Structure 1
Amino acid sequence: MTPLTYLEGTNALYYNLAWLIAAFSLNYYPTERRERFETNLGKYFRLLGIFGLAYFALYGFKSNGVYAFEYRATVYLVVCLFITVYRSFFYWVRTKYRLYGGNFTNVVVVGRDKNLKKIRKVFDQPELGYRYKGFFDDRPSVSPTYLGKMNDCFKYVLENDVDYIYCVTSNLSKKELEYLITFADNNLKKLMIIPDNKEIFTRSMSIELYDNIPVLAMRKSPLELEYAPIIKRTFDLLFSSFVILTVLSWLTPILFVLMKLESKGPLFFKQKRHGVNRKPFWCYKFRSMTQNAESDTLMATKNDMRVTRIGRILRKTSIDELPQFINVFLGNMSVVGPRPHMESHTEMYETSIDKYLVRHFVKPGITGLAQIKGYRGEIMKKADIVNRIRFDIFYTESWSLGLDLSIIYFTVVNAIRGEEKAY
């Protein structure tokens, strides 16, 4: 065996071990029935990132000079491409297989409340492989999926090869629930408990065990995970440093001269806004208006007479927001997050808009999900702020680095195309 062949063999062993360790540490391969390729993208990109660090770290310890960095990077990208194609093909084949009747599971529901209608929407997706037989409840129903009273379920489950029993606990007493658990255990049936949620569940709710006591956390953001703040802060520092050094370093003196030629006042406009945990901070922008007494209370409106000529260009292209990368570098803001509002607006909306303050669980951003969805700038009707908060809450509950990159991409695209409310 030549030294080069031996080297390639040991490298291949290292790559495979690195992939397996990363995959199992992220619990990547156990695939849930409800899982689709797109719902697992966050974990998938984390896996590729960790594997990439391990892949390139090898050359830091074994700098043999056999292959150029460009070759190594190309190999890594090709591996990522093939793995992506394979995983998407796997989910596609599984979906087709289920649509033709394979890999299915028979389910029934015992009990009935508002959750029944919601879980039916999951069962009615054929690509997930559920075969919903119907429900049992002591209250008669004209629904075609009504199978009888609760006591009828035991015979039905045994005679119809039911795999899963979903139990709505709001309709069952402790004694009935204990009997159902015993029945499921003694007949190799899997029992799934749907708790009485009192209509308070959210997508961000998580369950934690305190000894053997289940405790529900109402708002568990992905940003509360140990690694998430580190990843987001590192990205913010790198991205903001890049913009400050490559854009603000030469743009700032040019704008200083242009502004001085048109109107009196400072180059930068600073304003107190509320950040994470509602703490106030100074938010920086390039000044786009003449100095006025209403700057801290009145948002810019269409054809606003306060906006200068150069200010209209800055606002139309969102260049006026670039100094906020200084806020990002200092740690007051993030590149992506809910847009920070004026203190007066926070005080107004926190009492009039439901769940308004939830957006303050995370750092405010230069851009955000609400902004790329069209809810930026002037608030003309109540629906504008309501929908903005809805997207902000969705972001706090669904954060991932991939989502941040997607928002940044569409922010740039929208800035180039021009936005209706960018004035």
Structure 2
Amino acid sequence: MSNKNQLPLVRKASGIRLARDNILSITESLTDPLVAVIGLWAVAFIQEGQLSPIYLFLSLIIFFLSYPGESKLSLPINKAVMNIVFTWIMLSSLLILFAYTTRYMYLFSTQTIVLWVVLTPIMQILALLLLRSIAPLIMTLQGPVKQAVVAGINEQSIELALRLNDTKLQSTNIIGFFEDRTLKRVAENTDIDVLLNGNIGVSILGKIDELADYIKTHQVNVIYLSLPMSGHPRILKLLDDLKDTTASIYFIPDIFMTDLIQGRMGQIDDIPVVAVCETPFTGFNGVIKRTADIAFSLAILILILPILIIIAIGVKLSSPGPVIFKQRRYGLDGKEILVYKFRSMSVCEDGGAVTQATKNDQRVTKLGAFLRKSSLDELPQFINVLQGRMSVVGPRPHAVSHNEMYRKLIKGYMIRHKVKPGITGWAQVNGLRGETETLDKMKARIDFDLEYLRNWSPKLDIYIVFRTVSVVFKGEKNAY
């Protein structure tokens, strides 16, 4: 194949998660959770001579909070080690905080827990090194690498080739494309140019109509059809031509290049359906999220009760008005909820027009300025979390009047209400806290909110909580 038919796919994929039908991927996803659980059992048995039911209960919590383990085989070893250590510090810290504040800690041996917390990341790192060394052997258990071809060159097919060909640990190898356009026309596609940034080459093997004949004379195990849905008749013809083959055939609809939220395949009886916009908190994910919200908010409220009392007295003495300010906001599914805050202003706006706080805002009291700067005014919202109106982590709720304004100006604005609003969020720990005086700032905040919905995991929530603590202690210049 000449160089003129070689398409340089140059975007370097990193942190690839192996296909879930891959034995190695399944093994990797179980490694960290199982090491933590087995480590707990071993330490408890050695220290106490038995494995009491309370440790079995704790091991279940650990497993479900850490499963599936993040893919680290494709990461450099230093990044993989940092990932293990940081993840474990976050998870163990939250568990210990909850245990202490709820007085469950007395059920465990302090020596056992400390030893387990220290040894677990070491054991997980050793397990990762072992898994890396035996990964090639595990891959051979599922047979030879499958050879695949792709019909159509576009953003999603290029991304697929990058992800499959940029790691030796995948079970499928893209050997080439079938495309009717010339390479020059393909290169003129600016959307595809955005993806080019490395040194991976995949050949153009022929035109799409030549695909069926190619399959008959070459060893191809998998065919990916990445053709526009507007070409439905052509897709049907190609599928008919490919009936005389034993290759597995997958269709990559161009709908997946749209702004999907939790896009996934499903089935209702025998009818296939595709989720285009869905909450990440369906099924067991919803149970995990709600359980974590209740446990964390209850622990925090018990821990900060003296602080709440002191702030309440300070607000009452500093200026006339209620201690708690209740404002209507949009919650889950766009329904109105009442959100609690310590009053920080001399006025309580909740009408058709709510003016955002600005720098040196005369409405903000002296104590209120400190509360807003330190985010202490948000503490009563942990009560909202217990009520089920809010979550600890999620898109921040906006005043109803602001919602009605921005939903007309920003496409996809209301999608953020597929989940409960949060006390803190992905946008806030990325510098988008406080006043949004321009439309671009609000668009950026919404982009982060939607990114959170696409990529939610328990680990991401834990990370955001820790980032929030860091941001609060450092101080945020936009908070006033």
TM bucket normalised to smaller? 0.7 to 0.9
Q: Counterpart in 1 of 2:459?
A: 402
1:218 aligns with 2:276: yes
Q: Counterpart in 1 of 2:387?
A: 330
From 254, 261, 267, the equivalent of 1:209 is: 267
Deviation at 1:277, TM superposition (A): 1.3
Aligned residue pairs total 380
Which amino acid in the other structure matches residue 254 of structure 1? I
Which amino acid in the other structure matches residue 166 of structure 2? Q
* CA deviation profile, 1:334-370 (whole Å, cap 9, x unmatched): 1111111101011111121111111111111110111
Q: Counterpart in 2 of 1:275?
A: 331
Deviation at 1:279, TM superposition (A): 1.5
The 3 A distance-change label for structure 1 pair 78 and 266 is closer
Higher relative contact order (CA 8 A, sep 6+): 2
1:111 aligns with 2:171: no
Matches of 1:274 and 1:48, distance apart in 2: 42
Q: Which runs of 5+ in 2 are unaligned?
A: 1-18, 45-49, 57-107, 138-143, 187-201
CA contact (8 A) 2:315 2:323 kept: yes
Scaled by the length of structure 1, what TM-score is found? 0.76
CA contact (8 A) 1:169 1:177 kept: no
Matches of 1:70 and 1:209, distance apart in 2: 48
Tell me the percent identity. Answer: 34
The 3 A distance-change label for structure 1 pair 50 and 202 is farther
Matches within 5 A, 1:19-418: 31=22, 58-60=51-53, 69-70=109-110, 72-73=112-113, 76-77=116-117, 80-81=120-121, 84-89=124-129, 92-93=132-133, 105-123=146-164, 125-127=166-168, 129=170, 131-142=173-184, 145-154=203-212, 156-157=214-215, 161-170=219-228, 172-183=234-245, 185=246, 189-197=247-255, 199-200=257-258, 202=260, 204-225=262-283, 227-247=284-304, 249-291=305-347, 297-418=354-475
Deviation at 1:62, TM superposition (A): 11
CA contact (8 A) 2:212 2:241 kept: no
Deviation at 1:128, TM superposition (A): 5.3
CA contact (8 A) 2:263 2:278 kept: yes
Which amino acid in the other structure matches residue 323 of structure 1? P
SS in 1 for 2:414: helix
Q: Which runs of 5+ in 1 are unaligned?
A: 1-27, 98-102
* CA deviation profile, 1:217-247 (whole Å, cap 9, x unmatched): 212333112x222222222222222222221
SS in 2 for 1:272: strand
Q: For the aligned residues, what is the CA RMSD?
A: 3.9
Matches of 1:376 and 1:54, distance apart in 2: 43
The 3 A distance-change label for structure 1 pair 79 and 292 is closer
Which amino acid in the other structure matches residue 59 of structure 1? S
* CA deviation profile, 1:279-329 (whole Å, cap 9, x unmatched): 212211111111265886011111111111111111111111111111112
